[in-house]
Amino acid sequence: MKLYNFFSMAACAAAMTLTSCRTMNGAYGENAQNDINTLLSSTNEYDLDVSTEPITYTIDISTELGAAKLKNLTVKQAEDLAKREAIMKYKCGTLVNPQYTYLKKGKRILRITVYGFPAMYKNQEK
The whole model's pTM is what? 0.62
Tens of pLDDT, residue by residue over 61-91, are: 999 999 999 999 999 999 999 999 999 999 9
In the beta sheet, which residues pair with residue 18?
A: none
**pLDDT higher than threshold 50 for residue 25:** no
- pLDDT of residue 1 exceeding 70, the answer is no
- How far is 70 from 112, CA to CA, in rounded Å? 9
Domains of the chain by residue range: 45-125
On whether the CB atoms of residues 78 and 70 are closer than 8 A, the answer is yes
Residue 118 corresponds to which amino acid? P
Domain range 45-125, CATH architecture? 2-Layer Sandwich (3.30)
